[in-house]
Amino acid sequence: MLQKKYWAASAFAFLFSFQTMAQGDPAWPGVFQKINTEVQTNSKAYSSLKTASETIGHRMTGSENGKKAEEFAYNLFKAYGFTDVKYQPFEVESWSRGDLKLQVGPDASHLRQVKSVSLAHSPVKVNLTGQVVDMGNGLEADYSAKPNAVKGKIALVYLGVLPGSPEGTRSLHRSEKTALAIKNGAKGIIIINTVAGGTLLTGTASVTGKLITIPAVCIGLEDGMKLKEQLKKEPVTAKVDMSNFSGKIKARNVIATLKGTSLANEKIVVGGHLDSWDLATGAIDNGIGSFSVIDMARTFQALKLKPKRTIEFVMFMGEEEGLLGSEAYVAEAIKNKTIHQLAFMLNYDMTNDPKGYSASQESCRGLFQSIGAMAAQIDTTFKNSFSARAGLHSDHQPFMLHGVPTGGSSGGKLPKGAGDCYHADCDSFELVDEQGMKNTVRFSSMLLYGLADAPTLPAKHLTDEETKAFLLQSNLKEPLKIAGEWRWKD
């Protein structure tokens, strides 16, 4: 019996090994070893991000800092030997914060100031006083349970899912919660952050990237829970005085192209958003992702790698303000009829120290895990996990909504303390882990090379009807309808 089990295990191992090699080229392990050595020895991801953080600061789209960041990325690509580097300009509705004062109390004559921050795309000028209504998680079910409760009033909602919520409750993005508040007649929304210690979160409250009709502000967890308790005992009034700036400006994606050999008309897009919010340097969101992508490009050039398919390394701007750069990229691909040349999109948004790969389509499992098996032979800390999943609110979304298979590296963890600084004033370079970035670059470069060099790709470019079915299966219809991005009639 033991001998039979040993034979079965050996047969399985042989079969897996055979399937692994069948998925790729016999030369791949040697290429991957070269990638590993190059990144471990010469990576510039950490040092480049450090320089950008110290000399530019935040990288908010439309700002002078944003322009400097675009030029910084362009010059890095050039310095690494790319001859085909270009800006892809697009026009955006620029938004920047001005002044904000939030006061709350039992009535308009007894108000205390609460530490707060404006959420992006709030109106330019606000002077609002209104009654606060606790709307729980701010989901459709909360409004259905209290019909008209928030009409003409200010909604208080929790950013995530409150402890004690029904099992299986799924949260929505802050912009979608704001859209629901507007839909139900609210004239303002106060969002409670989920992170302790008075940490304030910024980010857009708009599903479209354009100005919303009501002020949206974020307050700290402790202040928010205190306000919820107060509302159980007495009515609460809030006064919001806010000023912001909004106007049309130009921004630019930065694209470096490495032309393929035998399948040059098939294109792999690998990107990350270069922009950040203005409260800090955005080292974690998304310096660790975007500067890892730039170093992947450096690695390919340093090793003179020439895969079959064309690769475009893309630094997207405007992600934080509504996926504006990636929307512009896809819109141009549709306009010039090259959308069906997009064979795959890999997205790196806050990716750190990955242990596996992910894709939107289950059909990628075999190829991705065969690539991962080779990576794991080089470094056993890579666990070769795989997940097939689909989500929203990063630069893969516009590609996915038009049938392009998407994916990336996954399974890692952010450096200690970095998660609490998401979109906050503590998102600084001191949080960055150098080896974590190296791991992102080397394992992701292996995945990218395997995708770009495979004889065929298992994932297919979905038709419009197949895309609809995929989004329904992924339970994405509701958030897409809220955002106005569900283009199908039913």
Task: Give 14-41 pLDDT, tens digit per residue.
Answer: 333 334 444 678 999 999 999 999 999 9
What percent of the chain lies above the pLDDT cut of 70? 95
How many percent of the chain have pLDDT more than 90? 90
Mean pLDDT, residues 250-258 = 97
pLDDT at residue 16, rounded to an integer: 39
Cis amide leading into 286 (omega within 30): yes
Residue of 62, 450, 97, 409 lying closest to 248 (CA atoms):
62
pLDDT for residue 300 is more than 50: yes
Domains and CATH numbers, the chain: 26-84+259-482 (3.40.630.10), 98-245 (3.50.30.30)
pLDDT tens digits, residue range 86-142? 999 999 778 889 999 999 999 999 999 999 999 999 999 999 999 999 999 999 999
Residue 471: the pLDDT is 98
Over 90: is that where the pLDDT of 236 sits?
Answer: yes
Mean pLDDT of 271-285: 96
For 352, residues 6+ apart whose C-beta sits below 8 A from its C-beta are 288, 412, 413, 414, 415, 418, 433, 436, 437, 439, 440
**What integer pLDDT is reported at residue 23 of this predicted model?**
63
Residue 335 sits at the vertex; the CA angle it makes with 329 and 341, to the nearest 5 degrees, is 70
Helices (H) and strands (E) in the chain, counts: 14, 14
Q: Please provide the size of the chain in residues.
A: 490
pLDDT, the chain, mean: 94
pTM: 0.90
Which pLDDT tens digit goes with each residue over 332-351? 999 999 999 999 999 999 99
CA distance 433 to 421: 15
* Spatial separation of the C-alpha atoms in residues 296 and 409, rounded to whole Å: 13
Q: What are phi and psi of 394, to 5 degrees?
A: -150, 180
* 32-69 tens-digit pLDDT: 999 999 999 999 999 999 999 999 999 999 999 999 99
Name which of 12-21, 170-179, 377-386, 480-489 the model is least confident about: 12-21
Q: Which residues contact 356 (CB under 8 A, 6 or more apart)?
A: 372, 382, 383, 384, 385, 386, 387, 409, 410, 411
Please state whether beta strands 356-359 and 385-388 pair in parallel, antiparallel, or not at all (unpaired). Answer: parallel
Residue 463 has what pLDDT? 97
User: Residue 102's pLDDT is what?
Assistant: 98
Give the pLDDT confidence score for residue 249 in this predicted structure: 85
What was the pLDDT predicted at 31?
Answer: 98
Task: Give the tens place of pLDDT for each residue, 372-413.
Answer: 999 999 999 999 999 999 999 999 999 999 999 999 999 999
446: pLDDT strictly greater than 90: yes
pLDDT at 24 (0 to 100): 74
Amino acid at 380: T
pLDDT digit string (tens) for 307-334? 999 999 999 999 998 899 999 999 999 9
Q: How confident is the model at residue 490 (pLDDT cuts 50, 70, 90)?
A: confident
| Rounded (5°) CA angle 89-125-424 | 65
- CA–CA dist 25, 305 (Å, integer): 14
**58 DSSP 8-state letter:** -
Question: Using an 8 Å Cβ cutoff, are 349 and 289 in contact?
Answer: yes
Query: Which among 159, 207, 162, 202 is positioned nearest to 183, based on CA atoms?
Result: 207
Cα–Cα distance, 295 to 300 (Å, whole number): 9
> What pLDDT is recorded for position 1?
40
